[in-house]
Amino acid sequence: MSRIAIVGVGTMGEAVLAGLVNSGATVLAGVRRTERGAELAERYAVTAGAPAEVAAGADVVVLGVKPYDIVPVVASLDLQPGQLVVSLAAGVTTAAIEAAVPAGVKVVRVMPNTPSLIGQGMSVVAGGSSASDADVEQVAELMRAVGSAVVVPEKHVDAAAAISGSGPAYVFYVAEALVEAGVHLGLPRAAASELVTQTLVGSALLMRETGEHPAVLREQVTSPGGTTAAALRVLESGAVRAAFLDATRANAQRSRELSEG
């Protein structure tokens, strides 16, 4: 199995590290602070060291640093032809990274999301011009250690990330609104939170397990002239569906602006 170095082990980097360790991969942690390296070594039984040191001995180098650090960090690693670089940063194109590495270094871009922290993530994977289909599939398989992964052309990354990358924020926004609605209806906050949480979990699992279109599942809950129909009528009159369309368009546009910047 490939030796994988993770450079920049913050929240998302650590999630990927934990998933890969659990899958049996050989993982190296690239950190700037020795105390952070000691913490990761104790928690996951991985080898930790300076970023350039661990990257030098790796087949795959995963970059978990902030977007504004990607290019300077990758340029400092002294990468060699044949190594595979995986970026977890939003708004940084594969072309920008390829320009900072030697010829022959392969680059793949990944947009994970925060449920990766509990092994239930959704990752969008896109290869750069130097990466083969096999390289891209290898990265997708790595990301399946923390959930699911889908491969798309890079031109679709902004759109896909607007759905899955930022998607948890939309879900939490809806959850927050439903909890507040329950409180306004007289429910204790703890009870409202439990009702909302399990309803979201159960509904997501039902959609995944049945494979039904969400419109079909919605119709199964909605009796003509009933209470659900009354509630949905209010949501439609509030243009909630259109608001989600506008929100995801704004998300994708902002991602394109960051890439161009």
CATH code, domain with 101? 3.40.50.720
| 83 and 191 part of one domain | no
For residue 85, the cross-strand partners are 61, 107
| DSSP assignment letter at 226 | S
% of the chain at pLDDT higher than 90: 83
Q: What is the pLDDT of residues 134-171, one digit of tens each?
A: 999 999 999 999 999 999 999 999 999 999 999 999 99
CATH code of the domain in which 255 resides: 1.10.3730.10
1 band by pLDDT with thresholds 50, 70 and 90: low
Point out the domain boundary residue: 112, 127, 153.
Answer: 153
Where in the sequence is the domain holding 55, given as residue range(s)? 3-153
Residues 124 and 201 occupy one common structural domain: no
Residue 160 lies in a domain: no
Determine the Cα–Cα distance for residues 20 and 29; give it in Å rounded to an integer: 12
Number of compact structural domains in the chain? 2
**162 occurs within a structural domain:** no
Is 7 in the same domain as 118?
yes
Residues 193 and 139 in one domain: no
Q: Same domain for 145 and 179? A: no
Tell whether 201 and 79 lie within a shared domain.
no
Query: Which residues, in sequence order, are CB contacts of 45 under 8 Å at separation 6+?
Result: 21
Same domain, 51 and 133: yes
How far lies 222's CA from each of 179, 234, 242, in Å? 21, 14, 21
Give 178-231 pLDDT, tens digit per residue.
Answer: 999 999 999 999 999 999 999 999 999 999 999 999 999 999 999 999 999 999
Q: Is residue 159 part of a domain?
A: no
Residue 111 lies in a domain: yes
Domain termination site, one of 153, 186, 217: 153
The pLDDT tens digits of the residues spanning 25-50 come to: 899 999 989 999 999 999 999 999 99
What's the pLDDT band for 76 if we cut at 50, 70, 90? very high
* Position 241 pLDDT exceeds 80: yes
> Domain for residue 32, yes or no?
yes
Euclidean distance between CA atoms 68 and 60, whole angstroms? 21
| Final residue of a structural domain among 103, 130, 153 | 153
Give every CB contact of residue 227 below 8 A, 6+ residues apart in sequence: none
**Is 75 part of any domain?**
yes
